[in-house]
Amino acid sequence: MKVIAVASQKGGSGKTTLAGHLAVQAEMAGGGPVALVDTDPQGSLSEWWNEREAETPLFARTTVERLEADIGRMKKMGINLLFVDTPPAITSTIANVIGLSDLLIIPTRPSPHDLRAVGATVELAEGLNTPLIFVVNGATPRARITSEAAIALSQHGTLAPAIIHQRVDFASSMIDGRTTMELNPGSRSSDEITKLWAYIDERLSRMETNHTMPTSHHLSASPASNGAAYN
């Protein structure tokens, strides 16, 4: 199982919307079973999931204090991917989550304030040796500041090549517990999420390959057991 944290020090970065969309896309792409955890006291991801009619992705009700133990339980249940939404501030909660994660996704809007805010999150991830990916989110199509933001972010870490643009269907799709891929699979927003998840999935695969590459002896992996709903 891979644990993916979505975190940003800056409020309004769109991390909850992104976490929900990526979890749904990962499930649709065959990466499941996928589960979600909401550690943000605002509970926006929880509220979105409660509105969903679809049974997937699963939702794990836990606390930061129980998260490590519950991650172990979910692994035994056969959960393949776990997305964790976090509070919009650098807190002990974020540090705990990032420390338990295999990958950190930092959504950043292309504005000077957002770019200045990424430093603390990057420093935290580096201190915990957690790989990170920047995602430019809420971009204006063909705006100069988007390319400038991409250049600035690439100097501090890996930047996802798929940019998520500001579109009504992307944000409004979360109102009734769905995503833009479920409402309008042929839209540009859907295409951007599909490409973003494909990139993240490929990155996870490369991380797994590097981690399991044999050295002086052969390494083998045991198949995961079949999973069940965790709620």
Count Cβ atoms below 10 Å from residue 224 Cβ, excluding itself: 14
* Predicted confidence (pLDDT) per residue in 53-89, tens digit: 999 999 999 988 899 999 999 999 999 999 999 988 7
Does residue 229 fall inside a structural domain?
no
Give the mean pLDDT of the chain. 86
Does residue 228 fall inside a structural domain?
no
The span from the CA of 169 to the CA of 184, in Å, is 8
Give the global pTM. 0.85
Does residue 85 fall inside a structural domain?
yes
Token couple for 188: 């540009």
At 54, which CATH number? 3.40.50.300
Does residue 135 fall inside a structural domain?
yes
Q: Which domain holds residue 167?
A: 2-205
The pLDDT-based confidence of 216 (bands split at 50, 70, 90) is: very low
Task: Report CA-CA distances (Å) from 86 to 40, 45, 83, 101, 108.
Answer: 5, 10, 10, 12, 14
- pLDDT surpassing 50 at residue 194: yes
**Count of the separate structural domains present in the chain:** 1
Does residue 213 fall inside a structural domain?
no
